[in-house]
Amino acid sequence: MKSFTYERAKTPAEAAAAVARAPGAKFLAGGTNLLDLMKIEVETPTHLVDVQDLKLASIEPTPEGGLRIGALVTNTALASDARVRRDYGVLTRAIVAGASGQLRNKATTAGNLLQRTRCPYFYDTNLPCNKRKPGSGCAAIGGVSRQLAVIGSSDACIATYPSDMAVAMRLLDASVETVKADGTTRIIPIADFHRLPGTTPEKDNALAHGELITGVTLPKPIGGMHLYHKVRDRASYAFALVSVATVIQKDGTGRVAFGGVAHKPWRVEAAEAAMPQGASAVASQVFADAKPTEQNGFKVPLAARTLASLIAQAKA
Ligand code: SF4
């Protein structure tokens, strides 16, 4: 591991300013992804600003009838919150489908949104990777791509984004709250938070350097049956080949978002009008522009079949 300096911030604005001052600085919260990446020198921050003392670990109701989740709320605390379990069941189901109990005890809401791809070439510093080293190439294109993206990818990167939690948040139209070094705040709809790779796959999201996530807001509950299903190569502690988050109302209308298929949670709102017609009608629109590799074309029909099983479950 490369050497680095360390400090603990006392306020969000102080943390944002401390990272903004140093081009090589990063925030540290639960550390469940960042520290692993530092050990293998995929991430090499020169300075860490530890945010764990900030008062950002509570879940509060909003005046609009939703919930505001502090950035430091752990995945375990969020998934087990009685209000989340009752009104946003898809979020609880998605979170407990991810990682392991130990990791969820430590991982934070903001950190989960910021976790980096699990593309195997991203982790291998002997091989080219535009996300790790811009301009070096992409070893996954023409390489082993079973786990990687089928839609929204580019000639520079075909990585997938690994979070389960974020797929449910995308379904629920969550918003990400941030603060910058100058103390200004902004609210980013989660649809705009994660980026597609384009020609700059090194940028995973819309945050500026030194911009700190302070919380995530969920709109008021939308009712319906909340379901999340994750298809993976083993029953636990594995990333999704495909995951489906859905909320289905009694009349068959609903929402659906997909994980494991793109560089961000994948939701096409226009396709949701086809929910009463069934999974194939939805999936044919959601994946109309899919460009799978020779190894991962199975993901497109798998996504449709997984949605079909959830629609059948909702009808039963
Ligand atoms: Fe790197 Fe993206 Fe290519 Fe994977 S798919 S090797 S993360 S550039």
Question: pLDDT for 64-100, tens place per residue?
Answer: 999 999 999 999 999 999 999 999 999 999 999 999 9
How many residues can be counted in the chain? 316
Average pLDDT rounded to a whole number, residues 213-234: 98
How far apart CA 220 and CA 175 sit, in angstroms, is: 12
Residues facing residue 194 across a β-bridge: 205
Atom of ligand 1 nearest to the CA of 117: 7
Report CA(51)–ligand 1 centroid distance (Å): 29
The residue whose CA has the least distance to atom 3 of ligand 1 is 138
Report CA(166)–ligand 1 centroid distance (Å): 20
Report CA(26)–ligand 1 centroid distance (Å): 22
pTM above 0.75, yes or no: yes
Report CA(198)–ligand 1 centroid distance (Å): 12
Atom of ligand 1 nearest to the CA of 149: 5
pLDDT digits (tens, 9 = 90+) for 173-222: 999 999 999 999 999 999 999 999 999 999 999 999 999 999 999 999 99
Report CA(131)–ligand 1 centroid distance (Å): 6
pLDDT of residue 109: 98
State which of 158, 160, 199 you would mutate to test the pocket of ligand 1, scoring each by most atoms of that ligand within 8 A of its C-beta: 158
pLDDT of residue 223: 98
The residue whose CA has the least distance to atom 2 of ligand 1 is 157
Instruction: Report the percent of the chain where pLDDT is more than 90.
Output: 99
pLDDT of residue 14: 96
Report CA(295)–ligand 1 centroid distance (Å): 15
pLDDT digits (tens, 9 = 90+) for 299-311: 999 999 999 999 9
Average pLDDT rounded to a whole number, residues 260-281: 98
How far apart CA 35 and CA 40 sit, in angstroms, is: 9
Q: Ligand 1 pocket: which residues have CB below 6 Å?
A: 117, 119, 121-122, 129-131, 138-140, 148, 157-159, 201
Average pLDDT rounded to a whole number, residues 123-146: 98
When pLDDT is cut at 50, 70 and 90, the band that residue 171 belongs to is very high
pLDDT of residue 91: 98
State which of 124, 138, 150 you would mutate to test the pocket of ligand 1, scoring each by most atoms of that ligand within 8 A of its C-beta: 138
Contacts of 204 (CB under 8 A, 6+ apart): 114, 116, 117, 161, 194, 195
